[in-house]
């Protein structure tokens, strides 16, 4: 269905599917006199939580994104993310703020399956992008969030013959920053560092983790558990989460960094985990999604790991990597699965 926010009358729209009715419920909540709306966290790093967010700050966030991408009144956007989470809610708020024409389609792994028109703006998760490569030419401005964009997916995107006017960005943010506060370009010019939006300050704490201050969307100083490297004052490169750091034989290992290296060479999803080990403290394992493959094992054996202890002590193949509802790798569930073996 299509909702034109330049001339919206909710009562004249026909919300039929279960998802469309969820969008209707959010719109009715938004257009009440209350100053806040309820948002659910993804639960990727713990138990999902529901908290209230000020509508004014959501509008501020929408303005930053719309201005950065140059979205204008009457442009077309596509909503294909769950509206329980901030990612889906913010797509609706951006449409409200910039008076966009919003195409509402049920969230699925194939969001462009029934889309045959050009769309000025869309947000997707990496799995959705993976299944939409043949139709990405329809999206003028695509932001990818919910999980890191793998090297494998980046390579697939770069191999598509897209127009220079097609722009694709990876996002950095969290529920507390009302979606994203920084972007890095994947296409047409791949970037290594995220660039923070205007009036967003970035710094490091004594652990080397990113500290954020984005007063337009959150008046608190936000302390993350993301280990980063900062340059030029407003740009940063993600190294990994401190709570995912594996301590093996006294050495700290950043699994996300190793995963990026591995996924440059193999098409499978790959996750490094550490399990308890009497001698090493934690033993480094590599979990790969898919059927056991001799060629994949041989490829990994030839990878130029920076340190010898970066090589996995064991490689385990599983049918499917567990994920949260919004597509993030669920490391807690992986640990549970491995410990039960």
Question: CA-to-CA distance for 49 and 300, rounded, in angstroms?
Answer: 38
Question: CA-to-CA distance for 294 and 245, rounded, in angstroms?
Answer: 28
99 with 177, same domain: the answer is: yes
283 with 186, same domain: the answer is: no
99 with 142, same domain: the answer is: yes
- Structurally, the chain folds into a number of domains equal to 2
Instruction: Look at residues 187, 218, 239 and tell me which one is the last residue of a structural domain.
Output: 239
- The sign of the CA dihedral 162, 164, 165, 171 is positive
Residue 226 counted as domain residue: no
46 with 9, same domain: the answer is: yes
Residue 45 counted as domain residue: yes
Mean pLDDT by 10 residues, the chain (341 residues): 89 90 95 91 63 93 95 98 93 97 96 97 96 97 90 89 93 88 95 94 96 95 94 93 89 90 89 89 94 94 93 94 80 84 64
Res 146: pLDDT: 84
Question: CB atoms < 10 A from the CB of 7, how many?
Answer: 8
264 with 190, same domain: the answer is: no
Residue 206 counted as domain residue: no
Question: CA-to-CA distance for 241 and 228, rounded, in angstroms?
Answer: 9
Res 95: pLDDT: 97
Q: Judge contact between 80 and 108, C-beta under 8 A.
A: yes
Pinpoint the alpha helices (H) of 131-225: 151-159
Helices (H) and strands (E) in the chain, counts: 8, 19
Res 243: pLDDT: 86
Name 170's bridge partners.
144, 184
Considering only CA atoms, which of 182, 186, 212, 185 is closest in space to residue 198?
A: 182
Which three-class secondary structure state does DSSP give residue 42?
Answer: coil
Res 179: pLDDT: 87
Domain boundaries, position 309: 245-339
Residue 207 counted as domain residue: no
pLDDT single digits (tens) 242-264: 988 998 888 889 999 999 899 88
Question: CB atoms < 10 A from the CB of 82, how many?
Answer: 17
Question: CA-to-CA distance for 190 and 169, rounded, in angstroms?
Answer: 9
Res 38: pLDDT: 86
């Amino acid at each position: 269905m299509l909702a034109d926010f330049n001339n919206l009358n909710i009562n004249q729209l026909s919300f039929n599917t279960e998802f469309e009715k969820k969008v209707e419920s959010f719109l009715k909540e938004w257009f009440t006199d209350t100053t806040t709306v309820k948002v659910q966290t993804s639960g990727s790093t713990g138990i999902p939580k529901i908290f209230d967010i000020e509508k004014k700050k959501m509008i501020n966030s929408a303005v930053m994104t719309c201005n950065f991408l140059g979205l204008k009144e009457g442009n077309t956007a596509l909503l294909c993310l769950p509206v329980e989470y901030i990612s889906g809610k913010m797509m609706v708020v951006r449409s409200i703020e910039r008076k966009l024409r919003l195409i509402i389609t049920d969230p699925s792994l194939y969001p462009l399956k029934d889309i045959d028109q050009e769309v000025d703006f869309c947000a997707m998760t990496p799995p959705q992008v993976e299944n939409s490569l043949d139709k990405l030419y329809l999206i003028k401005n695509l932001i990818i969030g919910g999980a890191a964009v793998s090297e494998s997916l980046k390579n697939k995107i770069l191999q598509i013959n897209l127009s220079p006017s097609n722009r694709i960005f990876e996002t950095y943010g969290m529920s507390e920053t009302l979606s994203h506060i920084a972007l890095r370009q994947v296409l047409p010019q791949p970037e290594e560092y995220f660039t923070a939006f205007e009036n967003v300050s970035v710094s490091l704490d004594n652990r080397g983790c990113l500290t954020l201050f984005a007063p337009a969307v959150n008046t608190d100083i936000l302390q993350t558990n993301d280990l980063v490297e900062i340059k030029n004052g407003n740009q940063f490169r993600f190294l990994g989460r401190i709570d995912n750091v594996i301590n093996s034989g006294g050495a700290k290992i950043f699994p996300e960094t190793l995963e990026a290296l591995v996924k440059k060479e193999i098409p499978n999803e790959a996750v490094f985990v550490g399990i308890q080990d009497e001698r090493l403290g934690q033993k480094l394992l590599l979990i790969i999604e898919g059927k056991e493959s001799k060629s994949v094992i041989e490829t990994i054996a030839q990878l130029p790991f920076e340190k010898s202890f970066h090589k996995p002590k064991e490689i385990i193949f599983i049918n499917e990597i567990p994920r949260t509802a919004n597509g993030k790798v669920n490391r807690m569930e992986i640990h549970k699965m491995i410990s039960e073996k």
